[in-house]
Every structure is written in C-alpha cells, then in structure tokens.
Structure 1
Amino acid sequence: MTAMHKFGSFCLDADAEILFWRAEPLGLGRRAVALLRVLLERAGTPVGKEALIEAAWPGLAIEDSNLTVQMAAIRRALSAGGGTDWIETLPRRGYRYIGPAVTSEGLPASAAQPTVPVSALPSRPSVAVLRFSNPNGDGEDDYFADGVVEDVAAGLSRVNWLFVIAPKSSFTYDAQALGLKQIGQELGARYLLQGSVRRSGDRVRISAQMIEAETGSLLWTERFDRPLADIFDLQDEIALNVVSAIEPRLRRAELERVKRKRPENLDAYDLVLQAQPDVYCGMPTEAARALALLERALALEPGYALAHAFAAMCHHCLFLRAGLLEDHRLASVRHARAAILYGQDDALALTFAGFSIGMDDHDRDAAFAAAEAALAVSPSSAITYIVGGVMFGWGGKAERAIEWGERALRLSPFDPWAWSAFHALMLGHFHLGHDDEAVKAAYRAVQHNPRHSISHMLLAAALAKLGRLGDARSAAARVLELQPAFRYSMQFSGVDCDPALAASLGAALDIAGLPG
C-alpha cells in the first residue's frame, strides 16, 4: 500500500516521491520529498539536522547549506496552499513541521504513531511546559493556570540557549497517562516543567517542578502562596520568578550531562558549558583553563556569541588579577564587541559583553546600553542585574548598586553569580556608611565564592572600618594567599573606581594591612 500524508490542501505520496496540491503534482525534487516526509511523520516535534541529512543524503557528508536550499524549495512548494510558515527553523538545531494536522495512510503501525528517539533530541537543551493541573477540579481556575503556563513558556523562549516546545503541542499531553519519559521523547524535550494551581478563598497556591524526562530526576521545585489581589499581576510575577529560577538550574543540569560525554565528542556548545564553572570562578588560573576550551569552541563556531562573552570575562579576570597587562584588556574588549555583534538575542552574552566593556574599556554608557538590551530580551535575567549592580557599585552609584543587587537576589537567590550581587551590596552600603550591612554582604560574598580574592578584600575593608582589626587582617591574609601580587591601587585602577569610594576603601585596606 502506498504511504500517503495528507495535510491542509496537500498530499505527499511518499513512495512515488510526489507532492500534490489538490490534484496537481508539484515539482519537488527527491531529496526535498525525503525531508518533507520526515518532518510530516514527526509533525510538531523538532527534527535535528543530522536526522534530516541522513534521510535525504544517507551516508554522505554534506554542508548545511544543502539542507537550507532544500528547505527553501519545500517552503516555495507549500506557498501554493499558504504554507510558507509551516516549516519552522530551529536555529543551529534543525526544523519542525507546525502546519495543519497530518493524516497518514498506508503506514506500518510503528510509522503511524512515530516516537522521536532520544538521539533525535535537539543538541541544545529543550523544555516542554506541560499544562498545570487544577486540584479543585471545578474548571474555574483553568484559564488562570493556562495563563501562568503560557507566560512561563513565553519567558523561557526568550532565553537564547533554550529550545521551548510550544504550549499548543505540550498541552495535549497527560503526564499521568503516558509517563514523563515518553512525553519527553515524543515532544523532543529533555526537560519538563509541570505543576498545579489551586485557588482557596482570596489566595492562590501554585507548585511547579522541573524534571529531566529521561531519568525522572527532579531538578527544581518551588511553591508560591500569594494573595489574589490582582490575578494578572500575580501571573506575571510567578512567570518571572519561575524563569529566573529555572535558567541557572538547567545550566547546571546541562553541565552534568556534558561531563558524561567523551572529550573527543564535545562540540562548541559542550565546550562552552565545560568552561562555564571556571569562567564563573573569577580567578586567573581557572580563567586561563576556561580560555583553552573557549578557543576550541570559537574555532568550531566563530560567531558563537556566548563563547565570545565568556572569553571576554576570562580576559577581564586575567587583566584585573594578573598584572593589568594591556593584551588582556584589549582581548576582553575585542571579544565583548564580537559578543554584542553576534548575540543581539542572547541576554547572557549581552550582559557579560557589557560588563567587560564597562570595566575594561571604562565605557559605562555602552555597558548599560548592553544591559538594557539584555533585559529587553529577557526581563528575568538576574545576572544582568548582578553585573549591573557591580558596575554601579564601583562607579560610586551606591543606591543603584543596592537596588540592582537586591533585585537580582530576589529573582535568583541561589544564582552561581550571587557572590557578585553581594559585592554590589557591600560597595553600596560601604559607600553610604552602612557598616554593619557592608560586613554582612561581604561575608555572604565569601560564603558564595570563597576562592575569589576580591570577596575577601571587600570583607577586610568592611571589618576594618567597623573596628574589627583582627578579623580584618585575617581576611587580608586570605587575599594574599589567593592573589600574592595583589595591590589595591591596581584593582581600583582596573575597574575605574569612583575616587571617593577608592579613598575610603583604600584607607580601610591600609588598616587591614593590604599593600596599596
């Protein structure tokens, strides 16, 4: 029996390799037909480039441009029936059919209800947000639950490195009926977000959890209990908090996944993930180690915005903590500008690029323009508020440093960069004479990143100003253990520290015994 796929006003005779529009055959080549067949048989799910190339060019090594040309031919053919947007491009990942429902005839049972194998998952992390349940069961709160989920999915879709399955696809799945692993396979989703919404009187309670579909491992869970004063403001607040909490957890989960891969199988994305913990450490030895991985990633993908941004941060670290060498400063700015060029839709790349330009090129206006662009892409980007707060702090804008640092910690209290948010808080409080608050913030910075010399430097200054000289000298000694060549004048010069702040910090560090 001939395999036929009917969709909209089209019919694909897969065996005859002919696409019909109504009764009219269209001039679509054999390879394009093979590609369209795969997309239709996996309708609604992402199909990776590798699977598509294998379907149309089995056993051959070809350039991606060949695939692009064939996809363009398919779109031209579908335009006869208004289907130019039925094939969705998933940047760097593959393609997906999102047009009218597909009816298939003459297929074996295994092909009639295809399940996407694990190997067909996109190379970048993919997330499906399932419909939240309503334990009340009265249907009254369903619209609110669906609104929350759609807002969360929309927020996650603005995170450049995530691929988010559209709710119109994920809402059709029942986790209890099918099981999470099967849902993940069929949707092409590595991670699933599920939860429940319950309204009780004038309050609403929402629980959410993120699960790795393949293993069933729980990555993140949270409960929200809020007064129902304004249901739509609450919906926006919950979506913002869920997105800001999920992003760092997924990055950690992705890193653990990549660590299980053999080194020779790492592509540019995996190399950047491997580099990330050392980039985030903020110390020279780790930064140099991260740069080696990032250079490999950029050799594979020269326009990889986040790789450029991470490289800028590494060179910033080496410039600031390894002798203020001009080569590192120039490299930091060069990579930052490349990150902005290639990463207009990547909030994290824009954030770190702006930070490097602000700190190493001393161009705060350009830095905050990049930060504003990052927040336009992803309003829930806690890291943007973190590094922006640090720039405000060193620039002597104490109130803004505190405001941005506190906002960052509300968005993502366990962020890998939380230590830097506490830097912003310490600098702001120190500048304003809030000595107790400055000490608390400095201690929190040390707790979150005990390997970072500047956290200990800030603690030494805060303790000295408070008159706790013994503790201040202990903190100063730890600075020199971590960074033997440390001179606070070099730190202040490197970050273009506000003169009044530099004077008060320097006086406190003199008391603590750190060399100027």
Structure 2
Amino acid sequence: MATILEFGPFRLDADAGLLFHGAEPTPLGRRAVALLVLLTGRAGAPISKEALIEGAWPGLVIEDSNLTVQIAAVRRVFDEVAQGADWIETLPRRGYRYVGPAVTVAHPDPTPEVLTPPVLALPDKPSVAVLSFSNLSGDTDQDYFIDGIVDDIITGLSRINWLFVIARNSTFTYKGRRVEVKQVGRELGVRYVLQGSVRKADDRVRIAAQLVDAATGAHVWAERYDRRSDDIFALQDEIALSVVGAIVPRLRRAEINRVNRKRPDSLDAYDLVLRAQPDVDSGMPEQVTRALALLERAIALEPSYALAHGNAAMCHHCLFLRAGLQEADRAASIRHARLAILHGQDDALALTWAGFSIGMDGHDRGAAFTALEAALAISPSSALTYILGSVILAWGGEAERAIEWSDRGLRLSPFDSWAWAAFDAQALSHFHCGRYEEAARAAYRSVQANPAHSITYVQLTAALARLGRLEEAKAAAARVLELHPAFRYGRQFLGVDCAPALAASLGDALRAAGLPE
C-alpha cells in the first residue's frame, strides 16, 4: 500500500520516490527525494549527516559536499514553489531538520466495491488506459495538439503485443471530467493508467506524464518534458516516442514484481517468462542458467512462444561468451533466435533478442538488422532494439552508426537496465575512432551502470592503456580476470566476430595492460 506524505502544496510518494506539486512531478532526483523522506518522516527532529548519508547513499562512502548539493536542490524546489527555502534548517556540524508546514501521512485505501458500473476482470497480460491529457494553457485551440500526442502514445503502446491497451474512444469519454484513477481502472478493467498535462506558452511546451497503478494509487513512473515548439508535429512525435520508450521498461519491471508475488507453482507460460526476465537481463552465467530452467518450462507449455525463445537465445548467448565459448551454447542461441523470428513476426521484443543473437553469435549482421528493423517497424520506441543494435554495430567496426543507435536508445529510455550496453558500444566506437578520452568516459559510465560485467572493464582497460594511464589500465585488467578468469581477448574477439582493424587495435592496448591473448 502506497505511503503519501503531504505538506504545504506538496505530496511525497515515498514508495515511488517522487515529489509532486499538484499533479506535476518536481525535478528532484532520487537521492534528494530519499533525504526528504527521512526529514519529513521525522519532522522537527534533528537528523545527523551520517544518518542522512546512509539513508540516501546506503553502503557508500561519500563526501559531505554530496549531501550539501542534494539539500540545496530540495531547498531550491521549495523556494521556487512556495518560498520555502527555510523549511530545511541547517544544524552546524550536526545535520539538518525539517521545520516546514505540518506533515500528514496518508495510506490510500482501495476504493470500496460499487454495484455500477460493473468491475471488469483484468486481462491476462498487463493493461493500460491513456487518459486525455489536461490542457493547462487556457487556450482551447491547443486541444488538437494535446489530443494528437495522446493518440500517438496510444498507437505506440498498442504496437507492443504483450500489452493490452484501451482504445481512445473509451479513454476519451473521461475528457474534461475529474475522475479517480482507481475508478478508471475498475470501469475500464486495466491495471495501469497514464495521465498527464500540457502547458504551452510562447515557444515552449511543458508536458508532464505519470503512470499509476490503478489498484493501489502508487506511481510507477513520472516524467516532465520541456521543449521548444518550433515544429509542433515533430514535437508531438518526439514526446510520444519518449513517453512510450520510458514507460515500457517500467511497466515490465512492475509486472515482474507483481508476478513474483504470485504463487510460485503457477505454470502459466507468460508468468514463467516474466519470472525469468531479471535473470536474463543480468547477463551473468549463474543467473541465466536459472532463467533457462523457467524458459524451458514455458516453451514446454507453449512451443511457439516467441518471447520465451528470444529470452532463451539471450541466455545461451551469455553462456557462450562468458562460460567457455562452447559451440553447443552458440548453436542453441542461434536455434532459439530462429524460432523467435519464426513465431514472433508481431513481437518487437522477441525479434530484438533474436536479432542480437544472430548478429553476435551467428555472425550474420545482415540477418540481424533485418530482424531489428522489423522490430522497429512494429515498435518505433523500442529502446532495447537500438541499444542492442548499437552493440552489433560497434563490434562490426561501424563506429558512427553505433554511436547514433546507442544515443537513440538512451534518449528513449535513459534509465534502461541495458543502458550499460549502450555505453559499451560508445566506448568501443570512440576507441575505434581514436577518441580515447571519450572512450574512457563511456567505459566508466558502463562500469557504473553494471559493475559485475567483465566486458565493461575490457573497454576501460583498452582506453586507459591508450591514454598512457598504464597503472589504472592494469587495475581494470585485473578486474576483468577477477570477474572472468578464463578471459582471453583473442578468443573473445573471434566469438563476437570483431572487425579486424578494431581487434588489432584493442589487442595491442589490452596486451600492454597485461591481459592474456
């Protein structure tokens, strides 16, 4: 059940980690929100710097200046909205204290059953309704633009075959009405509701959107977009793609969390795939081995389940590259990828997994991009398609195109669980072009996003060696071997069919840092 802290003009959703002013999320980051939860949760009481740092940066050693920066961000938002910069009191050498308006705690209760309208049963797959966005501009002439954005979002979500999307003719019946999200969920029979607002002034447009769990009222995702409105229709398309790209990973994570709370003996193929997904995404041999057991059960239940085959292909890809380069794993990766393509002509995610396996393990980049481009035709906002495509391009030596695809993927889903792969592609591409500072920077971002993956340290090792920072390069190389003791860069390059010129340049740098060939 969601916990909401209310004070002044603000609502703080502690579970979602979001601070709202009215219906719009504020730009506070997750660290600042975590601090605010601690301060308002103990309103009036001093909280030490040590307690605040541990709450917002658990397990990390950071400087006090990081805390100071985040507290300043909270004060700035308070001041801009309610002239409340003094709501956070500094206690010299001790810590901070919240002294603003009284804080009340609300635990939203499920809405009682009503006789009419009837409660619709939820579909077997995740379901969403996109409500008409509120026009905050005071100009009814802008309604066409706002409705166009919502239309495009509905169309984009409708292309995702694992998602049940209510048609606009149903959702637009709520236009202009004040209605509770829980009521919409009951009346339309959906688990999630997307709502938002648009404010247009002069040459700027601000769009706020939030995805809410209709059963609990908890926020799953929220974002705000500020853009120039020079080309109103291009802006409409850009916003719609960005919203869809950002929502889809969050929806899938919310569904995984929901399924993991169900009875563990459920044999539904869809639930089995969802349970396997986090282990597939980990890219770690032990976890993907565990995922394969679930995926094989799903395939036994439904042999033509494209997404199960696509995930299985990714699992065998991981085992091939990270568990000994065994031919059996490479062959299994390709076999499942072909089955995913055969049965998944309308499934963008299955085609994406399949294309990646065929490109990386089958060394057929032409066939890979046929599958990836088919995925984008189905779902133009598929961030993962661009991210994994960028990896194939980078290893193939197509540096500039790889950077373009990785940037596109990160633009669609900045916090994607696969973001590290996009940074990897950028590191490889910048290295290939001799831009070693940029390569090191991208490699550091990849390491930060996924510190358990050895390949991220490979790119970092190479870039640092080329920059002449040999001691740091050797430290990164040691981390490669710690995570992947059997790593041999020559075999690894053969495994991914690395472009010859890139392989030669990388090899020279890795050899200088002490990695074995």
Task: State TM-score, norm by structure 2.
Answer: 0.76
Match of 1:412 in 2: 413
Match of 1:398 in 2: 399
Report how far residue 115 of structure 1 moved: 2.3
Does 2:244 match 1:240? no
Match of 1:13 in 2: none
Report how far residue 319 of structure 1 moved: 1.0
Match of 1:351 in 2: 352
CA distance in 1, matches of 2:510, 2:117: 69
Which range is displaced more, 131-140 or 453-462? 131-140
Match of 1:113 in 2: 117
Report how far residue 359 of structure 1 moved: 1.2
Query: Are the structure 2 counterparts of residues 468 and 367 from structure 1 closer, same or farther at C-alpha, using a change threshold of 3 Å?
Result: same
Percent identity, please: 68
SS at match of 1:440: helix
Report how far residue 175 of structure 1 moved: 9.2
Match of 2:76 in 1: none
Which residue identity does 1:375 align to in structure 2? L
Query: Are the structure 2 counterparts of residues 128 and 175 from structure 1 closer, same or farther at C-alpha, using a change threshold of 3 Å?
Result: farther
Report how far residue 136 of structure 1 moved: 3.4
CA distance in 2, matches of 1:136, 1:333: 53
Match of 1:279 in 2: 280
CA distance in 2, matches of 1:164, 1:228: 29
SS at match of 1:171: helix
SS at match of 2:215: coil
Q: Name the count of aligned residue pairs.
A: 405
SS at match of 2:174: coil
Contact 1:141–1:198 (CA<8 Å) still a contact in 2? no
Contact 1:175–1:183 (CA<8 Å) still a contact in 2? no
CA distance in 2, matches of 1:220, 1:345: 26
Contact 2:316–2:332 (CA<8 Å) still a contact in 1? yes
Contact 1:319–1:326 (CA<8 Å) still a contact in 2? yes
Match of 2:157 in 1: 156
Spell out, residue by residue over 1:314-340, the C-alpha distance to the aligned partner (whole angstroms, 9 max, x if none).
101111111111111111000000000
Report how far residue 455 of structure 1 moved: 0.7
Which range is displaced more, 138-147 or 504-513? 138-147
Match of 2:230 in 1: 229
Query: Are the structure 2 counterparts of residues 175 and 213 from structure 1 closer, same or farther at C-alpha, using a change threshold of 3 Å?
Result: farther
Which residue identity does 1:295 align to in structure 2? E
Report how far residue 266 of structure 1 moved: 4.7
Match of 1:379 in 2: 380
CA distance in 2, matches of 1:263, 1:423: 36
Match of 1:124 in 2: 125
Query: Are the structure 2 counterparts of residues 113 and 398 from structure 1 closer, same or farther at C-alpha, using a change threshold of 3 Å?
Result: closer
Which residue identity does 1:228 align to in structure 2? S
Spell out, residue by residue over 1:255-276, the C-alpha distance to the aligned partner (whole angstroms, 9 max, x if none).
1111111211252111111111
Counting only pairs closer than 5 Å after superposition, residues 165-176 of structure 1 correspond to structure 2 as 165-173=166-174
Report how far residue 283 of structure 1 moved: 2.0
Report how far residue 477 of structure 1 moved: 1.3
Which residue identity does 1:410 align to in structure 2? R
Report how far residue 399 of structure 1 moved: 1.2
CA distance in 2, matches of 1:200, 1:323: 59
CA distance in 1, matches of 2:442, 2:507: 19
Match of 1:461 in 2: 462
RMSD of the alignment, in Å? 1.6
Report how far residue 202 of structure 1 moved: 2.2
What 5-or-longer segments of structure 2 have no aligned partner? Answer: 1-113
SS at match of 1:214: coil
Which residue identity does 1:258 align to in structure 2? V
SS at match of 1:211: strand
Does 2:259 match 1:258? yes
Counting only pairs closer than 5 Å after superposition, residues 38-437 of structure 1 correspond to structure 2 as 113-116=117-120, 120-173=121-174, 177-437=178-438
Match of 1:53 in 2: none
CA distance in 1, matches of 2:488, 2:232: 53
Query: Are the structure 2 counterparts of residues 413 and 113 from structure 1 closer, same or farther at C-alpha, using a change threshold of 3 Å?
Result: closer
CA distance in 2, matches of 1:506, 1:278: 31
Match of 1:514 in 2: 515
Which residue identity does 2:376 align to in structure 1? L
Contact 2:443–2:459 (CA<8 Å) still a contact in 1? yes
Report how far residue 358 of structure 1 moved: 1.0
CA distance in 1, matches of 2:387, 2:346: 19
For the pair shown, which has the larger CA radius of gyration, 1 or 2? 1
Which residue identity does 2:406 align to in structure 1? G
CA distance in 1, matches of 2:307, 2:400: 30
Counting only pairs closer than 5 Å after superposition, residues 9-48 of structure 1 correspond to structure 2 as none
Which residue identity does 1:221 align to in structure 2? A
Match of 2:42 in 1: none
CA distance in 2, matches of 1:128, 1:289: 34
SS at match of 1:127: strand
CA distance in 1, matches of 2:158, 2:338: 25
Report how far residue 112 of structure 1 moved: 6.3
Which residue identity does 2:497 align to in structure 1? D
CA distance in 2, matches of 1:340, 1:223: 36
CA distance in 1, matches of 2:460, 2:497: 20
Match of 1:486 in 2: 487
SS at match of 1:507: helix
Spell out, residue by residue over 1:111-151, the C-alpha distance to the aligned partner (whole angstroms, 9 max, x if none).
763222xxx20111001000111123442221111111011
CA distance in 2, matches of 1:350, 1:309: 7
CA distance in 2, matches of 1:356, 1:127: 31
Which residue identity does 2:352 align to in structure 1? T
Does 2:458 match 1:450? no
Contact 2:457–2:479 (CA<8 Å) still a contact in 1? yes
Which residue identity does 1:129 align to in structure 2? V
CA distance in 1, matches of 2:389, 2:503: 19
Contact 1:312–1:336 (CA<8 Å) still a contact in 2? yes
SS at match of 1:204: strand
CA distance in 2, matches of 1:141, 1:392: 41
CA distance in 1, matches of 2:472, 2:257: 37
CA distance in 2, matches of 1:298, 1:310: 11
CA distance in 2, matches of 1:183, 1:295: 37
Which residue identity does 2:128 align to in structure 1? V
Report how far residue 300 of structure 1 moved: 1.4
Report how far residue 419 of structure 1 moved: 0.5
Match of 1:472 in 2: 473
Spell out, residue by residue over 1:330-375, the C-alpha distance to the aligned partner (whole angstroms, 9 max, x if none).
1100000000011111111111101111111111110011111011
Which range is displaced more, 223-232 or 332-341? 223-232
Which residue identity does 2:381 align to in structure 1? S
Which residue identity does 1:301 align to in structure 2? E
